[in-house]
């Protein structure tokens, strides 16, 4: 299955078809993420995005009719980046501990470059269709976490994994986002503690489930 749950081109004025055009759009969206991370929605301007991207303001508007369309593309890329992290964790051939280490390391890395971006994204106005994209993301996000839970236990997914995934994802997401706000993502102790938290939860949950069945 594709790691993408959204079509950013839906909000764009012109979909890039050639490699050069796609590269330009990528640069613009990356610059937009930097500006949004730095200033938030209140200070987000297409003029600064163009300056950071090293392109003309006309190039920005060639692909994005307004800044709402641009932030929608930033939001959708963030969704795709997070889902890619979960896909790598599921696909990784490793023990449960190593799988969790990889997952948590990638989650921290995904938030380290733009630590304020997630909160800025939460503050954005809905450009139209964003709720549908978010709902699709949340559904796929939880499904992939459930697959990771099953993989850590060395078996096929079962229905109960969904609730376990909900608790695990909420715990990891909450700590990572809080650490991003406090500037603690670079602390190596954060990763160690999160790996221990996740591993202990999964092991304790498995033991409790086994006791209920016995």
Nearest-10 Cα torsion for 43, 108, 206, 153: 120
Closest CA to 192 of 82, 85, 108: 108
pTM assigned to the model: 0.83
Stronger pLDDT, 124 or 202, i.e. the higher one = 202
Beta carbons within 10 angstroms of residue 150's beta carbon? 18
Annotate 48-96 with three-state secondary structure.
HHHHHHCCCHHHHHHHCCCHHHHHHHHHHHHHHHHHHHHHHHHHCCCCH
Question: Six-digit token pair at 189?
Answer: 């102790």
| pLDDT, tens only, 124-168 | 776 566 678 888 999 999 999 999 999 999 999 999 999 999 999
pLDDT band with cut points at 50, 70 and 90 for residue 175: very high
Question: Six-digit token pair at 196?
Answer: 């221990």
| pLDDT, tens only, 8-57 | 544 666 677 788 889 999 999 999 999 999 999 999 999 999 999 999 99
Question: Six-digit token pair at 17?
Answer: 């078809």
**Ranges of H-type helices in 95-160:** 96-112, 117-122, 130-152
Return d(Cα 143, Cα 165) in angstroms, integer: 8
Residue 3 has pLDDT above 50, yes or no: no
Reply yes or no on domain 8-213 having CATH 1.10.357.10.
yes
Q: Is the dihedral of CA 181, 112, 82, 104 positive or negative?
A: negative
Secondary structure of residue 204 in the 3-state scheme: helix
Question: Six-digit token pair at 174?
Answer: 């909450």
């Amino acid at each position: 299955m594709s790691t993408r749950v959204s079509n950013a081109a839906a909000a764009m004025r012109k979909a890039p078809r050639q490699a050069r055009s796609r590269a330009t759009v990528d640069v613009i969206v990356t610059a937009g993420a930097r500006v949004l991370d730095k200033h938030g929605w209140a200070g987000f301007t297409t003029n600064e995005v163009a300056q950071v991207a090293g392109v003309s303001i006309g190039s920005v508007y060639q692909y994005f009719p307004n800044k709402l369309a641009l932030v929608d593309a930033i939001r959708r890329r963030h969704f795709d980046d997070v889902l890619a992290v979960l896909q790598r964790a599921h696909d990784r051939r490793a023990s449960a501990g190593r799988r969790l280490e990889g997952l948590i390391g990638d989650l921290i890395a995904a938030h380290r470059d733009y630590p304020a971006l997630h909160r800025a994204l939460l503050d954005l106005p809905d450009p139209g269709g964003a709720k549908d994209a978010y709902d699709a993301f949340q559904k796929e996000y939880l499904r992939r976490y459930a697959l990771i839970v099953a993989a850590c236990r060395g078996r096929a997914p079962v229905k109960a994994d969904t609730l376990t995934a909900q608790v695990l994802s909420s715990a990891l997401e909450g700590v990572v986002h809080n650490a991003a706000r406090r500037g603690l993502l670079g602390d190596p102790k954060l990763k160690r503690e999160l790996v221990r938290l996740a591993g202990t939860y999964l092991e304790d949950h498995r033991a409790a489930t086994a006791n209920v069945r016995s």
